[in-house]
Amino acid sequence: MDLTTLERLPLWIGGKAVAALTKRYGDVTNPATGEVIRHVPLASAADVDAAVAAAAAALPSWRAYPPLRRARVMMHFRELMLAHRKELAKIITQEHGKTLADAEGEVTRGIEVVEFVTAIPHLLKGEFSENVGTDVDSYSLRQPVGVCAGITPFNFPCMVPMWMYPVALACGNTFVLKPSERDPTLALRMAELLAEAGLPAGVFNVVHGDKEAVDALLAHPQVKAISFVGSTPIAKYIYETGTANGKRVQALGGAKNHAVVLPDADLDFTTEAIVGAGYGSAGERCMAISAVVAVGEVGDALVERLAARARRVEVGPGDAPSVEMGPVITRAARDRIVGYVDGGVSEGARLVVDGRQPGIPGDGFFVGPTLFDHVTPQMAIYRDEIFGPVLCVVRSASLADAIALINASPYANGTAIFTRSGHAARRFQQDVEVGMVGVNVPIPVPMAFFSFGGWRASLFGDLNVHGMDGVRFYTRGKTLTTRWPDDGSAAPGFHMPMLG
């Protein structure tokens, strides 16, 4: 089905596209033009019920598949995602606004999680102790938790859902995805490709919607686990409500990521890295750098270079060649970001590069790269997650002060240090209280075979996404203790059955 020509998107339930029962629909906008391009159903509790019922019905047979057979479906899915990655990137760019290269990059990162779970027979292995007592052995198993739900943000419509469902499915669970209502189409295309890869009907379902659909998932007795990625206030709400309803929950929240630059850093390399991490995807990444802590005398030289490079960032529609930064997601997001910039000026920060009027023709939601210097920790531009292309330089006297500043932030998703000193880098990695740390790496995003997640207000719950934490989240441990005394029944001539 050509989803991009549909005026009203369907849901995906029981292995096929179905019209939603809800009467409520929302607009999906192309942020580069400001045009409404299609409408998304805002699912009702009855829609959610139908999706959960399909997932529950599919569970017994899917969880009985040998893990290797589930892995083979994932291998096939990987090939399809690779073959379609340009088409998928176009859908992302049309609804999200990021550049095509960035969109393709997120598809690739999502595929890496699928590659990780193709090893699921190995990842599910338990432990075994022989002879814990006479004729007694003990061993452990990991079993699926049941119907799982994923609730995801707008900023990575491909990659963030893929932090979740490949792991959940490979572990033998069934899944209901509630993607962001702002860029909902990609989830349906992934559902089609999963079906083409041989995933049985009902194992993966998509409900579109807003708070009503989310609340129905949080309250549904058949949903056993909820993975959430989004802003901190909603993450906290999801965690508190989901756990109060007896579900296991991992809820990843917002971020305010700092890059520390020491005076001995390679400034050209650092500038390029910070500009990419601050303005890439218009700053709408949970691992975007938004605060730059310039230590000691490096400040003036760094700000000069950052400003020169920020002014050269090419802003425009994400599908235009040579564009480095697309629009932000909505008109409201643009107005909010511009409001923060106004506020920063009135609070006394020095506005070095002003992106409030980037001069792009048309009605797209563009904000240009923006750079503030002499920002203080009291200012709203420093404290709040702006989630836009705004870099704030804070001056700091020492590495110790920089670390103290970062450790005082409520957010603790990612951070990075730029230095040539191994000693300073080591001290930073030991003392900084943040979940993901980069050394001369601006966006320290763990690979699929590690787990991803921040600390403090950036993660509610105990287990990160993907990697071994993902496998633990989507499985329950069971420990067996077995005794098989010799009752003489192993008769002579006993043959092992053929395997397979």
Note the residues at the interface with ligand NAD (CB under 6 A).
151-156, 160, 178, 180-181, 210-211, 214, 229-231, 234, 252-255, 286, 385, 387, 413, 454, 458
407-to-256, 377, 414 alpha-carbon distances in Å: 12, 12, 12
Strand runs labelled E in 34-181: 35-41, 128-133, 136-144, 147-151, 174-178
- The smaller minimum CB distance to ligand NAD, of residues 251 and 298, is found at 251
Residues paired with residue 8 on neighbouring β-strands, in sequence order:
39
CB of 330 to ligand NAD, least distance (A): 9
* Phi, psi of 408, rounded to the nearest 5 degrees: -90, -10
Contact 71, 237 (CB under 8 A): no
- The smaller minimum CB distance to ligand NAD, of residues 176 and 352, is found at 176
CB of 252 to ligand NAD, least distance (A): 4
- The smaller minimum CB distance to ligand NAD, of residues 71 and 206, is found at 206
- The smaller minimum CB distance to ligand NAD, of residues 154 and 474, is found at 154
Q: Would you call 17 helix, strand, or coil by DSSP?
A: strand
- The smaller minimum CB distance to ligand NAD, of residues 259 and 425, is found at 259
Q: Which of 148, 171, 286, 392 is catalytic?
A: 286
Q: How many residues does the chain have?
A: 500
CB of 31 to ligand NAD, least distance (A): 13
CA 184, chain centre distance (Å): 15
Distance CA 41, CA 44 (A): 9
CB of 464 to ligand NAD, least distance (A): 9
Contact 298, 261 (CB under 8 A): yes
Query: What torsion do the CA atoms of 249, 254, 255, 256 make, to the nearest 10 degrees?
Result: -150
Distance CA 159, CA 148 (A): 18
Token digits for 6? 């549909």
Assess whether 392 carries a catalytic annotation: no
Instruction: Quickly list DSSP for 159-199.
Output: HHHHHHHHHHHHTT-EEEEE--SSS-HHHHHHHHHHHHTTP
- The smaller minimum CB distance to ligand NAD, of residues 231 and 243, is found at 231
CB of 429 to ligand NAD, least distance (A): 20
Q: Would you call 111 helix, strand, or coil by DSSP?
A: helix
Token digits for 168? 């959940």
CB of 342 to ligand NAD, least distance (A): 21
Strand runs labelled E in 161-306: 174-178, 204-206, 223-229, 248-252, 257-261, 289-295
Distance CA 243, CA 235 (A): 12
228-to-18, 112, 221, 286, 346 alpha-carbon distances in Å: 24, 20, 18, 13, 36
- The smaller minimum CB distance to ligand NAD, of residues 411 and 474, is found at 411
Q: Which residue has the CB atom at the shortest distance from ligand NAD?
A: 230
415's enclosing H/E stretch is: strand 414-418
Query: What torsion do the CA atoms of 382, 339, 349, 300 make, to the nearest 10 degrees?
Result: 80
- The smaller minimum CB distance to ligand NAD, of residues 48 and 151, is found at 151
CB of 137 to ligand NAD, least distance (A): 41
* Phi, psi of 345, rounded to the nearest 5 degrees: -65, -45
- The smaller minimum CB distance to ligand NAD, of residues 155 and 451, is found at 155
CB of 161 to ligand NAD, least distance (A): 10
**Residue closest to 316 by CA, chosen among 368, 279, 271:** 368
Residues classed as catalytic: 286
